[in-house]
Amino acid sequence: MATPLQHRAGHSGSRILSVATYRPRTEVGNEPIAALIDSSDEWIRRRCGIESRRRAAPDEGLVMMAAAAASKALAGAGVDPRDVSAVLVATMSHRGRATTAAPLVADALGATAAAAMDLGAACAGFPYALATADALVRGGTAGHVVVVGAERMTDLIDERDRSTAFLFGDGAGAVVVGPSETRGIGPVVWGADGSKSEVLRYDEAGILRMAGPEVFRWATSVVPDVARRALDAAGVSADDLAAFIPHQANLRITSAAAKALGLGPHVTVATDIITNGNTGAASIPQAMAALPDTSGPALLVGFGAGLAYAAQVVTLP
């Protein structure tokens, strides 16, 4: 009979200890973008709800933004970087000479003993990475995990493309996940539909191309469904929620999902997209940090290229 392998003792649950963001210095309104796509401020607001977004300067690289957000999150959690077991970076826009961003972020933090890896699930990347962190902590593989969503989406867009030029912004958001006696991160409900991957893809030059109407129809269908399944998996109802924090892709998608879920007026619905644009994998933690003094359970939903999606209920820090 084979000798059984030893295993590490896990934890009853995990929770988000803190959340922080890095928002680039430069704010860009709709007018200069509209001028390049033969459009208007009014058309952009009506199409997606965005009034402005942040754009990273040359000295605001993806790793720098990710490390800045993560450093603030660690300080907020009171966790020493040397006590971090893993650094997970969700991104679709890392273009540095290093093949992955996470080891560079870990080094910048001083988390020199931490495992570090990028997670590529596009705009669903943050809930994917959060589910991974939860499993690492509960399984005993990690004590504290830094989860970062970081993007320089404006590196990926054609400024004259009427489908994408007005949507995206840059920035980073981070959380610290640690052990808890009770579960503060609910079971993830996730999936992907590769048969529709062509509607949101890179072209031969590495520029992001999107079939907007098709993506909108897919998102308004998948978000309420995966959201309901995540609520069921966590054993809570929409009435129990304090907040709804979907990926900030389009204000119309957010509004349609909130209506479909029947969210009451007591539920704070994240609308960070209005002044921050779509920041890809960074949008959920950035929107979480922007919520006005909200505590209790929040429903997170990510969705995007792949086409990938994920949702979970979490207790806000």
Give the pLDDT band of residue 40 (cuts 50, 70, 90). very high
Whole-number Å distance between alpha carbons of 236 and 293: 21
Please say if the pLDDT value at position 1 is more than 80.
Answer: no
Rounded to an integer, the average pLDDT of 237-247 is 97
The residue from 30, 250, 276, 278 that is catalytic is 278
| 48 catalytic per annotation | no
Percent of the chain with pLDDT strictly greater than 70: 100
At 29, is the secondary structure helix, strand, or coil?
strand
Strand partners, 56: none
Tens digits of residue pLDDT in 251-301: 999 999 999 999 999 999 999 999 999 999 999 999 999 998 888 999 999
Element (H, E) at 14: strand 13-22
Look-up: residue for tokens 């006005």?
Answer: 292
pLDDT at position 13 is: 95
| 247 catalytic per annotation | yes
pLDDT at position 5 is: 85
Give the pLDDT band of residue 36 (cuts 50, 70, 90). very high
pLDDT at position 2 is: 79
Rounded to an integer, the average pLDDT of 2-21 is 90
Rounded to an integer, the average pLDDT of 128-138 is 98
Least confident among 8-17, 219-228, 254-263, 297-306: 8-17
pLDDT at position 43 is: 97
| 11 catalytic per annotation | no
Strand partners, 244: 269, 299
Whole-number Å distance between alpha carbons of 94 and 165: 19
Q: What does pLDDT average to over the chain?
A: 96
Tens digits of residue pLDDT in 73-117: 999 999 999 999 999 999 999 988 888 999 999 999 999 999 999
Radius of gyration of the chain (CA): 19
Counting beta carbons within 10 angstroms of the beta carbon of residue 150, is it exposed (0 to 12), middle (13 to 18) or buried (19 or more)? buried
The residue from 94, 247, 250, 276 that is catalytic is 247
Please say if the pLDDT value at position 310 is more than 90.
Answer: yes
Please say if the pLDDT value at position 62 is more than 90.
Answer: yes
pLDDT at position 4 is: 87
Please say if the pLDDT value at position 198 is more than 80.
Answer: yes
CB atoms near residue 120 (< 10 Å):
17
pLDDT at position 10 is: 86
The residue from 123, 144, 250, 276 that is catalytic is 123
